[in-house]
Chains A and B, each alone.
Chain A
Amino acid sequence: MTNWTPFIYGLVAVYLLYYLANLAFDLLKPRGAETGESSLMISLADLEEPIDASEYSPVLNVNVNHPQELLSSGEISSSGGVLFGGIMELAANDAIFFTKQIPS
């Protein structure tokens, strides 16, 4: 039957062997591997969906052949007879027309 003392000695010996093997492995390992050249870093923030250029409308909605612009008398400095409150009301109606189309 084993005693406690040889058992502890045995355990210490096994641990020391393990520790030395670890140390030896670290020291003898080739240095080149430590430079981290092969390490791969993935930034999750960069995994975004690619930009879909096809969804771009290639031209702006400024139409050169637009009759309204050809007939324009220059820069708008007044609202053309509509009061500012009227413009806001018209805009609100437009907005209601568009927002109604959002499914809910």
Chain B
Amino acid sequence: MVIAFGNIKPGTGKSTLLLLLASYLAGKEKKKIYLIDMQAGGTLGLLSERSAILEHQLPFEYYHCDLSHFELLYARLGAERDAYVLVELPSSMHDERIMGVFSKLDLLFCPFCYDRPTLNSTIYFASLAKRIKTGISLVFLPNRIVSSAGYEFKQEIDALLRQISPLSTGIGEHIGFQRISSLQLDSQLIERYCATLDLIYSHYLAKPE
């Protein structure tokens, strides 16, 4: 299953949530998990360098790859049917080779926050994804939700996003996300988001055969 995280707005939590999901899946299932980082100089790359120095035993394999090499890497990894391939899409969509990547995706998560500039970019990204691949399974994933804060027009925005694609439950803000220093996540952080991830897993990842 190929699952991607994408948004043209940087800093919406693509890398972090991808890492969280990968770590969660590693504990949940015995399948192989591959991380493909398509972001040049992105967070995952930096974290993996640190993990390499610290010689972490990671429950997944990390690959960095650009648009020109994606097809090759996919041909290698995609051959394994019973594996999770988690892709972090590049923020820049100004390359038509991105269409090849979209065609391979089974599920696309679009993390976003409830501020106006991010919403605009998120809606544009979703529209683009829908234009490139009409039937794409896109799920909006609200990130950095502060439980004590009120969000202006949240109801209206949620209703609007649901017109485009399903909207998942939100990922709350947690200091643990700022303390991530390598690809190895703190088990307490995964535990904390277990309920949310379970819900996401049962709704979007467990295949309705």
Contacts and interface: CB of A to CB of B under 8 A. Distances in A.
A103 interface: yes
B137 A62 contact: yes
Interface of A: 45, 47-49, 51-53, 55-57, 60-63, 66, 68-69, 75-77, 79, 84, 87-88, 90-92, 94-95, 98-99, 101-104
A88 to B, nearest CB: 7
Given A62-B135, A66-B135, A98 B163 contact: yes
Is chain B's binding surface mostly helix, strand, loop or mixed?
A: helix
A94 B103 contact: no
Q: Identify the 3 closest CB pairs spanning chains A and B, nearest first.
A: A94-B127, A84-B96, A91-B128
Contact of A47 (B116, B147, B167, B174): B147
Interface of B: 93-94, 96, 99-100, 103, 116, 119-120, 123-124, 126-128, 130-135, 137, 147, 153, 156-158, 160, 162-169, 172, 174, 195-196, 199, 203-204
A102 B147 contact: no
Contact of B103 (A52, A69, A77): A77
A36 B163 CA distance: 51
Contacts of B93: 88
Contacts of A91: 124, 127-128, 130-131
A57 B162 contact: yes
A90 B131 contact: yes
Contact of A76 (B133, B137, B160, B162): B133
A98 B165 contact: no
Contacts of B166: 56-57, 60-61
Given A47-B147, A52-B169, 5 more contacts: A45-B172, A48-B147, A49-B147, A61-B135, A99-B120
A104 B162 CA distance: 19
A39 B203 CA distance: 37
B147 A56 contact: no
Given A56-B203, A87-B131, A91-B124, A51 B169 contact: yes
B131 A60 contact: no
B123 A98 contact: yes
Contacts of B134: 68
A60, A66, A104 — most chain B CB neighbours (10 Å):
A60
B209 to A, nearest CB: 12
